[in-house]
Amino acid sequence: MPEHDGLMRIFWPLDLSKFVSPGIIVGWRNSGLDIFIVSILEDVDTQTVRDSLKAGALIRNASYPVTRIFELCGKSSMQVLGVFNSPNAEIENLQIHAFTKPKLKLPQVYCARASTIQIIMFERPLPNRMQYISLDPISLALGDQADMQNKAATLVDADDERERMKNWRKSKELVEKLKLHTVVKHPASSKERALLNIVNQINCSWELNGVLAEAFLVVLEWRVKPDYAALKDISATAQQVDIRLQQFCYWPMQYVMLRKRKYDWESVTTSHPDYIRFYNSLWLVANDVIIGIALGSYIIENSAWVTENISRILSLYSIAALQNTISWLMDWPAGLKLNNELAAFLGDLFLWVIDYWSSCFGALKPVLPKIIWIVGFSSFAGASLPISLFSDFISVLTFHIYCFYMASARIYNWQYSILLSLFQLFRGKKHNVLRKRIDSCDYDLDQLLLGTILFTLLFFLLPTVLVFYITFASFRMAIITLKATLDALLACLNHFPLFALMLRVKDSKRLPGGICFELQDTESMFHNISKEIKLTDSSPSVPLKFRGMFQQYFQLGHRIRKHYLSLRVLLCLVTGRFVPSIHRRNLYSLQYTMLPARRAGILEMWTVLTKSEPQKKSHNGHDGKLNGRRMNGHGKRT
């Protein structure tokens, strides 16, 4: 009686379950009880196939060196795994014997050494359609951008980064202590370690099946056709021009890199993300130009109306509305009794600056039509360029509001700090600057009397300063919100995953997000029924989720929310400290994820473009013209 070793896993392609002719099963043996089936060679002798595989006779007519696929799959060659629909065949203990019937969902497989057999059905991805499966979700951003974003976050948010690293170290220490008492992770078994090779074997199985078919049965000829793909930190226009120039410099490199695909097996999936990134960039730029042409035509044809309305809106909201608001604050706003002298002093000061700014804006009005004309013609380079110009235009024309906010915030912060110090004086305390703590202190009577007078004076002046500060802070937050909206629109025009969404709808297998295993009912699988049965994939490829496509947008939203909607920002607003805008390096990092971290120089790009391409020849010296019949029912691929 044969000795049983345990569970045997068999990875079986769905398309091989439809045939009933006798044949030889060919594939890989990842371990004694872990096999992967590549193809079934019909009407051939077992020993002949075994000798041909050892000599490499079956793969001599391959378009490219088959060692490339063997290297990906972690094996040096294929081997005979068993027989198929051969009732009188003699097989070894480790070989399998498989039967299929038209009314059975799964093949019936027998092996003398296996006590239990687990059949994992899978649908082979088509390499000529750039389908493949992956353990990890496909990345739509270049890999080197993660390091750049981490560096940017370290430079800009140093305090947050130090706090995060401190919490991370504490968590790591806690995990290390838990490891002393519990088993957190078991070592990977041999079956788990073989999963990566199995994924590559699934990706390569279609082309290897084609190679074996062409070597044995002569049918049609087919040819593989590859598919083709620090002024900026302060100016949105400079940032947009930088992005476009980097794209124009990187596209030839991407195109050359994608053309190299036709000199390698289609089963090699390393270039598929580059293909998606390349065509996504082309689509975005094409849409940007189309929208820009429509927008520019409208601006040029209606330049007089656009100029008049922009001049009216800017005069209304940046000058007239501000003057009316300040005049209202100088005279009991909302019934509040303010200090008339201080309110008049601050109001006159701000109104004088606004009058001077209004005269400067009046000098700009004669050239405003020419500026609008230039913006209209810039739209022919894409809608993103006039949007970035408009963002910079707003920054320049609202500079006086920024100055008002800075001045009022500074005055309010000084007054708040003095009141806080005087309050400590009443409690008999003082702030120790060196030790950063509150210490007890004895004050004289004259010090307490002077402190009381100053505290009373500043306390009654505080509401007047506060209303001016709240007003200008509100104007400042409104401008930041408007610019953030424009930046979000630029991010959509430059980075929206349009091509990836199209692939997700058209062919989700070209955007893998992982794999999953579905347990099938064994009894129902082998139950004979009269009606037609539809085979199901027991290990389907999971498509990339929509959240994964927009992961960069979620990160950007989290970054903006963390910067502006946090307790630190609220504390800065309450105490009058300056609330800085989010750094453009963090804000625009999303738009650079499609570009390499290091831009290629002219010499490097010229070297890549002028490098001679190798002649595409088959492994036997012919120009890829393979005559043979395709087996297993596969026809010509177009």
> What is 345-402 written as a DSSP string?
HHHHHHHHHHHHHHHHHHHHGGGHHHHHHHHHHHGGG-THHHHHHHHHHHHHHTHHHH
Q: Are the beta carbons of 232 and 200 closer than 8 angstroms?
A: no
C-alpha 397/C-alpha 380 separation (Å) is: 25
- Coil, helix or strand at residue 28: strand
Report the DSSP pairing between strands 437-440 and 429-432.
antiparallel
In the predicted model, is pLDDT for residue 141 greater than 70? no
* 180 CB-near residues (< 8 Å, 6+ apart): none
Who wins on pLDDT, 154 or 501?
501
In the predicted model, is pLDDT for residue 488 greater than 50? yes
pLDDT score for 272: 66
pLDDT score for 226: 47
Who wins on pLDDT, 392 or 524?
392
Mean per-residue pLDDT over the chain, rounded: 71
The mean-pLDDT minimum among 189-193, 369-373, 575-579 falls in 189-193
In the predicted model, is pLDDT for residue 396 greater than 80? yes
**Mean local confidence (pLDDT), 595-600:** 57
- Coil, helix or strand at residue 39: strand
The mean-pLDDT minimum among 80-84, 132-136, 269-273, 447-451 falls in 269-273
- Confidence tier at 620 by pLDDT (50, 70, 90): very low
Alpha-carbon separation of residue 488 from 314, 412, 481, 553, 604 (angstroms): 22, 32, 10, 9, 34
pLDDT score for 614: 53
- Confidence tier at 2 by pLDDT (50, 70, 90): very low
Closest to 232 in 3D by CA, of 599, 616, 627, 605: 599
Give the H or E element holding residue 480: helix 445-495
pLDDT score for 142: 62
Would you tell me how many other CB atoms lie within 10 Å of the CB of residue 412? 22
pLDDT score for 316: 86
**Tokens 């063997």, located at residue:** 70
C-alpha 280/C-alpha 467 separation (Å) is: 49
pLDDT score for 233: 67
pLDDT score for 265: 59
**Mean local confidence (pLDDT), 554-581:** 75
3-state helix, strand, coil in the chain (%, to 5): 60, 10, 30
**Mean local confidence (pLDDT), 557-568:** 74
C-alpha 584/C-alpha 513 separation (Å) is: 31
Who wins on pLDDT, 568 or 155?
568
In the predicted model, is pLDDT for residue 531 greater than 50? no
* 36 CB-near residues (< 8 Å, 6+ apart): 11, 27, 28, 29, 30, 198, 201, 202, 205
Q: Which residues of 28-50 are buried (b: 16+ CB within 10 A; e: fewer)?
A: bbbeebbbbbbbbbbebebeebe
pLDDT score for 51: 73
Q: Are the beta carbons of 144 and 597 closer than 8 angstroms?
A: yes
pLDDT score for 220: 29
The mean-pLDDT minimum among 283-287, 329-333, 482-486, 577-581 falls in 577-581
Who wins on pLDDT, 374 or 139?
374
Alpha-carbon separation of residue 208 from 40, 50, 216, 266, 290 (angstroms): 11, 16, 12, 11, 44
pLDDT score for 636: 38
In the predicted model, is pLDDT for residue 12 greater than 60? yes
* R_g over Cα of the chain: 36
- Confidence tier at 618 by pLDDT (50, 70, 90): very low
Half-sphere exposure of 635 (CA within 13 A, CB side): 1
Rounded to 5 degrees, what are φ and ψ at 255? Answer: -65, -45
C-alpha 291/C-alpha 591 separation (Å) is: 19
The mean-pLDDT minimum among 3-17, 68-82, 190-204, 575-589 falls in 190-204
pTM: 0.57
Who wins on pLDDT, 230 or 401?
401
For residue 32, the cross-strand partners are: none
Alpha-carbon separation of residue 260 from 270, 272, 614 (angstroms): 11, 12, 9
Rounded to 5 degrees, what are φ and ψ at 10? Answer: -125, 120
In the predicted model, is pLDDT for residue 464 greater than 80? yes
DSSP for residue 464: H
**Mean local confidence (pLDDT), 293-311:** 88
Report the DSSP pairing between strands 6-13 and 96-99.
unpaired
Who wins on pLDDT, 46 or 323?
323
pLDDT score for 523: 58
C-alpha 442/C-alpha 464 separation (Å) is: 33
Who wins on pLDDT, 529 or 550?
550
- Confidence tier at 473 by pLDDT (50, 70, 90): confident
- Confidence tier at 534 by pLDDT (50, 70, 90): very low
Which of 51-55, 93-97, 327-331 has the highest average model confidence (pLDDT)? 327-331
In the predicted model, is pLDDT for residue 219 greater than 50? no
In the predicted model, is pLDDT for residue 266 greater than 80? no
pLDDT score for 526: 52
**Mean local confidence (pLDDT), 527-533:** 44
Instruction: Name the residue type at position 247.
Output: Q
pLDDT score for 221: 33
Instruction: Name the residue type at position 461.
Output: L
H-type helices in 56-194, by residue range? 67-73, 145-156, 158-179, 190-193
For residue 426, the cross-strand partners are: none
Angle between helices 368-378 and 303-315 (to 10 degrees): 120
- Confidence tier at 139 by pLDDT (50, 70, 90): low
For residue 120, the cross-strand partners are: 11
pLDDT score for 87: 67
- Of all residues in the chain, what percent carry a pLDDT higher than 90? 0
**Mean local confidence (pLDDT), 586-615:** 58
- Confidence tier at 378 by pLDDT (50, 70, 90): confident
Q: Are the beta carbons of 85 and 22 closer than 8 angstroms?
A: yes
C-alpha 457/C-alpha 467 separation (Å) is: 17
- Of all residues in the chain, what percent carry a pLDDT higher than 70? 60
pLDDT score for 327: 87
For residue 23, the cross-strand partners are: 42, 84
- Coil, helix or strand at residue 224: coil
Closest to 638 in 3D by CA, of 338, 223, 288, 349: 223
C-alpha 393/C-alpha 405 separation (Å) is: 19
Instruction: Tell the burial category of 411 from Cβ atoms under 10 Å away from its Cβ (0-12, 13-18, 19+).
Output: middle
Q: Which residues of 349-358 are buried (b: 16+ CB within 10 A; e: fewer)?
A: ebeeebeebb
